[in-house]
Every structure is written in C-alpha cells, then in structure tokens.
Chain A
Amino acid sequence: MATEVRNQVRRLRFEAGELTQQQLADLVGATRQTIIAIEAGHYAPSLELAFRIARALGKGIEEVFSYPAPRTQERTPY
C-alpha cells in the first residue's frame, strides 16, 4: 500500500555522508524497517518523525518530504 507522501530520504542520506539506514534510524529513534518503509513509500511518517528525519539530514522538512497538489478538475464552460 503506497502513500501519497513523496520523500527524498534515500538521496539525502547519501548526500549526508552516506548515512546507513540503521544510522539514520538510530538518529531519529525509529527502527531500520521503518526507514526502509519510508524510503519505499510504504509508510508516511508522523509529523514529529518527519521533522526528526529532516533535522538528522540537515534539511528543511519540505526538502525531504512533499505532498503532490490535488489535481483540479477542469471546468467545462456551459
């Protein structure tokens, strides 16, 4: 079951000194399986965990997580 929340955790992990999933998990107080699930888009973390991940990666939360804007329906003229 995929989540709508997109993330750049995997890329940013490598940019932040090639952090391993376990190291990031230890930094943010989660399990490695949760980091794996987040990276795979199978789990949308809570706001608190999202902030902790962003802080651990040295980025702002919007650089790490994004939520696609809902597609607006085209209005048909009448």
Chain B
Amino acid sequence: MSQHERISWVALVVTGVVSVWYFALVLPAPGDSHLFGVGMAVFAFILIITAIFVAIASELLLRWVQRRTGGDPSRRDQLDERDRLINLRAGRNAYVVLFGSVVLVLGLIPMIQMMRSFAWPGGPALPNTVLVRMVTGPLDGPLIAQWLLLALTLSDLCKYVTRIVSYRRGY
C-alpha cells in the first residue's frame, strides 16, 4: 500500500468518525437547544481542529513507522503521474458532490416548503429538531452553515473514497 493510499485511509476514517459523531449529536438535537447557534459553531470549530490534529499526528506516525521499517519517506512522498491522475479524478468527483449538494439544497428546500404550504395549509406539527428545521426551513445563517458543513463533509468523503477505490481497483 502506497503512502498516499495510507493517508487517504487515515483521512477517510478521521473524517468519517468525526462527521458521524458531529451530525449524530447535532441533527437530532432540539432546534432551539444550546447546541444550536454560537455553541454549535464553537463545537464544530473544536471538532474541525481535532480532525486536523488527528490527521497530522497520524501522518507523522506513518512517516515514523516507515523510517523505522527501512523506507525512505522523502522519496516515497513524491507524487508520480498515476497519483496526480487519481488526485484529479478524486477532486472532480468531490466537486460534483459539492456542486450537486448545493444545487439540491437551493432547489429542494424551497420545493419542500412550497409543497408543504400547498398540501398542508398550516402544516402538520413536526418535531422541532435541527434536521427538520434544515429540511423544512426557512433557512437562516446557522442552518445554511450546517448544510455547507454537510456538503463539504460529503464531498471530502467522496474524495477519499475515490482515491482508495482508484488505488485498489486500478486507474
């Protein structure tokens, strides 16, 4: 397994664990809870910093292991043409996911709101959670930030999965 593939695995696991933890805590939370708003922004910031720290620490650990096992980390770090092609493909797929998510949010939420106002005038009583507020809107700053975070996370996960699949199955 190449160094770049290992890094992709580490990044995928770290991003996956952190994002699942974050969204599992935030999405079912009450829409007006202390987690929502400034508290949530601080929480997200701490999680992002933790994810970056873990990624850097694991990268350093991998280099240390490689040095101990006789590898030459400086040479193995170089990207060759296949790595660059795989990175390009991963970046393209990640961009498609990011762009698709943004289009989905911009189109889906107004549509859901419109359908709700036509089909159920007055609207049925929905649970007051962050997830429901994100879908039914109206969107305000913190809700848009959650959507953006979700879109960026999905796009990152797609990037790492594409890299790993390309390294495993060939390019």
Contacts and interface: CB of A to CB of B under 8 A. Distances in A.
Interface residues of B, number: 14
Contacts, number: 41
Interface of B: 1-2, 5, 75-76, 78, 80-83, 167, 169-171
Interface of A: 1-3, 26, 29-34, 37, 40-43, 45-46, 49
B2 A31 contact: yes
Contact of A43 (B5, B76, B170): B170
Interface secondary structure of B, over-half rule: helix
Interface secondary structure of A, over-half rule: loop
A34 B83 CA distance: 8
A69 to B, nearest CB: 23
Contacts of B80: 29-31, 34
Contacts of B81: 30, 34, 45-46, 49
